[in-house]
Structure 1
Amino acid sequence: MAPTNQVLVKESSNVRTIILNRPKQLNALSLEMVSRLLELFHAYEKDPSVKMIILKAEGRAFCAGGDVAAVVNDINKGGWKVGTDFFSKEFTLNYLMATYTKPQVSLLRGIVMGGGAGASMHGRFRVATDNSVFAMPETALGLFPDVGASYYLSRLPGFFGEYVGLTGARLDGAEMLACGLATHFAPLEKLSSLEDALCKANTCDPIVISNIINEYSITPKLKEKSQYFRLKTIERCFSRRTVEDIIYALEKENAKSMDDWISWTIQSIKKASPTSLKISLRSIREGRLQGVGQCLIREYRMVCNVMKGEFSRDFFEGCRALLLDKDKNSKWEPSKLELVSDNMVDHYFEALNDKDWEDLKLPARSNLPAYAISKL
């Protein structure tokens, strides 16, 4: 595939800087972008002259997610299987990044959501800054936190991953660093100097790279009302076995204190797709006990079941309400948590009964997932 202007590349000695370049679409990942990123990451891994990859973006967002509106449009025209190509390539890219043999440094200016998190969280170094905003808002779209999120969310402290995954809560750069989603925090005014220093480094040694990033990094103070200070309440509520139990625990907490944050948390969950909430909770719980490859293979099954729409069409309804008509008035079906049975949830985790469909085939890799060893 010929290079496109949706993904730019800057070469400087032993470093390749890959730049996401759809600023008007907040760098939402198109199939073209994902295909190009896969091509580049494969090529640079084989090239002995390349020692480090820097991933950044043009405009005010790092990446607002996968271009799901385009995927839905393609599915509406050509059937659900048309969408499988996008997700199989995207998840393969996530796995390649998670097991990459060369350091990836992601500079996370602005919005980092959904597919944007998938393109960065699996890499070795994740540098947040003053205007970083992380979120996995999929339950409001009738989807679930994918792109390997069941792997990295389940590894956050306590049950913070369940909280972030079910509510779509937005985290700032300081919170990203505190919970481990970011490995470093560099002030905005130092980001270009940091990039220059990395381009001159001529090394693939992660300890040396970490020390360079440290020179430009600070430990920012968490805001007084940071969600990260709510870990004990999150632990009490989000450790519960079911979504219904989580809501019940939150409502009990709210009756004691009438807290704005708890009220917001309850409302965020209640507005989301009941089916999405149930499959998301189970996905994150299963992710705790699985490797990144297992998580991605399972999430691919789940996303194919979502696109097939046999048990619920919530993904298409969520995209209609939030991305297409923008009336923000999703009509979920089933409409209540109690109408989503365990048996219905089970279906999302099963292989599809379709002769032309197959499980995600990930390439054989020898490297350890970068996320598990990123805290140097």
Structure 2
Amino acid sequence: MTSTNEAAGLEAKRDGRAGRLLLRRPQALNALDLSMVRALHGQLRLWQDDPDIEIVVLEGEGRAFCAGGDVRRVRADILAGAGDAADTFFTEEYALNAAIAHFPKPYVSLIQGACMGGGLGISIHGSDRVLTETALLAMPETAIGFAPDIGASYFLPRLPGALGFYLGLTGTRLAGADAVHAGLGTAFVPSDRLTELGDALAKDGRGAISQFAVALPLYSLAPLLPAIDACFSAESVPAILARLAAMDSDWARAALAELNRHSPSALCWSLTALKAGARLDLDSALAAELRLAQRLIRLPDFAEGVRAMLVDKDRKPRWQPARLEDVDPRLIRDLFRP
């Protein structure tokens, strides 16, 4: 039986042993809005105790898996004075992330194309993330005046070395094989076999993944890991920038230029969040992220960052403040008060 909720952008069906979910909002790159979050969570509740459903398989329609949360709608709600609606979105999105983490059955995401922000939230907390050569994973929140969320303050600091701090602050995109090397994915399967894998999962269960997974290509980030650790293990954003500036390499210059394009305030509160999340369990990290998100969306840099990157797309944000040295440390401290 197939259930398609066009308003929610979700198709759900039983297929053999599997409950199969298809994100169907391709015109928006399957970005999550509140109706989609609710539909996903509701379907997981139905299948959690269903003895005929042994595994859940999630895919995205079109050229993206899920490009993230619909932050344009969040910004519009804030500007319209509907902050409660924006708060509700994050509350329910993070509750969905937690439900996936605690789901008692295998939960497999088959990822092609963009998987960013909220797309990681509905995949990384499951048992398996199967990536293809077209997959592109990132947490780009500092570029829009926000912070890595959806549990990223928990999982990014737990990547090897300082890699998670690098990814969380710069928003660097990892292609499929590199994302598996980094620990964001669990298996690598060629895109031309993904449909076949989905059918095999419905027939044979989670064990089918090992029959389709192939050896990983070389890890392109491997030569950079010592430099990433040396720079992004620093205790503060100014110290990270100073270490990058002192390093004579194309990678360091590119990373420095990228950080200098992002909100100075967002870099500071994101580093603070990642350091705090390293000491928390997932549920505590999601609770801390919710408090932080509800505060950040009301600050000028969020509205400006979303405008510049996603609404007007002029890529010329006017950050407040524009210089790192003008970021008020009291603001950063206050954002993390209970």
Question: Does TM, scored on the shorter chain, surpass 0.5?
Answer: yes
CA distance in structure 1 between the aligned counterparts of 2:328 and 2:78, rounded to whole angstroms: 27
Compute the displacement of 1:4 (Å). Answer: 1.7
Cα deviation digits, residues 138-180 of structure 1 (max 9, x gap):
0000001101011111110000000000001010111111011
Cα deviation digits, residues 240-276 of structure 1 (max 9, x gap):
000100010011112xxxx222211001111100111
CA distance in structure 2 between the aligned counterparts of 1:327 and 1:245, rounded to whole angstroms: 30
Q: 1:289 aligns with which of 256, 274, 279?
A: 279
Q: 1:334 aligns with which of 301, 314, 321?
A: 321
Alignment of 1:338-349 (within 5 A): 338-349=325-336
Task: Give 2:80's aligned residue.
Answer: 77
Task: Give 2:218's aligned residue.
Answer: 222
Q: 2:208 aligns with which of 200, 212, 215?
A: 212
1:175–1:228: 8 Å Cα contact kept in structure 2?
no
Residue 129 of structure 2: SS of its match in structure 1? strand
Q: How many residues align?
A: 334
Q: 1:62 aligns with which of 58, 61, 65?
A: 65
CA distance in structure 1 between the aligned counterparts of 2:119 and 2:16, rounded to whole angstroms: 27
**Paired letter, 1:241:** E
**Paired letter, 1:81:** D
User: Is the alpha carbon distance of 1:76 and 1:179 closer, same or farther for their aligned partners in structure 2, counting shifts above 3 Å?
Assistant: same
Compute the displacement of 1:3 (Å). Answer: 5.5
Moved more, 149-158 or 78-87: 78-87
Cα deviation digits, residues 55-85 of structure 1 (max 9, x gap):
0010000000001001111222233222001
Residue 18 of structure 1: SS of its match in structure 2? strand
Compute the displacement of 1:114 (Å). Answer: 0.5
**Paired letter, 1:237:** C
1:3–1:36: 8 Å Cα contact kept in structure 2?
no
CA distance in structure 1 between the aligned counterparts of 2:196 and 2:244, rounded to whole angstroms: 45
Alignment of 1:271-290 (within 5 A): 271-290=261-280
Compute the displacement of 1:222 (Å). Answer: 2.5
Q: 1:305 aligns with which of 289, 295, 300?
A: 295
1:274–1:335: 8 Å Cα contact kept in structure 2?
yes
1:129 equivalent to 2:125? Answer no
Q: CA RMSD in A?
A: 1.3
Moved more, 72-81 or 4-13: 72-81
Task: Give 1:235's aligned residue.
Answer: 229
Q: 2:203 aligns with which of 188, 200, 205?
A: 200
Residue 232 of structure 1: SS of its match in structure 2? helix
Task: Give 1:324's aligned residue.
Answer: 311
Q: Which runs of 5+ in 2 are unaligned?
A: none
CA distance in structure 1 between the aligned counterparts of 2:99 and 2:140, rounded to whole angstroms: 24
CA distance in structure 2 between the aligned counterparts of 1:89 and 1:268, rounded to whole angstroms: 32
1:186 equivalent to 2:182? Answer no
Task: Give 2:177's aligned residue.
Answer: 174
Task: Give 2:242's aligned residue.
Answer: 248
**Paired letter, 2:87:** T
Residue 202 of structure 2: SS of its match in structure 1? helix
CA distance in structure 2 between the aligned counterparts of 1:76 and 1:340, rounded to whole angstroms: 24
Residue 308 of structure 1: SS of its match in structure 2? coil
Compute the displacement of 1:345 (Å). Answer: 0.8
Q: Which runs of 5+ in 1 are unaligned?
A: 204-208, 352-376
**Paired letter, 2:251:** W
CA distance in structure 2 between the aligned counterparts of 1:146 and 1:21, rounded to whole angstroms: 23
**Paired letter, 2:270:** S
Q: Percent identity?
A: 39
Cα deviation digits, residues 11-66 of structure 1 (max 9, x gap):
11221110000111100111110111111111111222211100001000000000
1:30–1:66: 8 Å Cα contact kept in structure 2?
yes
Task: Give 2:301's aligned residue.
Answer: 314
CA distance in structure 2 between the aligned counterparts of 1:25 and 1:238, rounded to whole angstroms: 33
Residue 155 of structure 1: SS of its match in structure 2? coil
1:30 equivalent to 2:43? Answer no
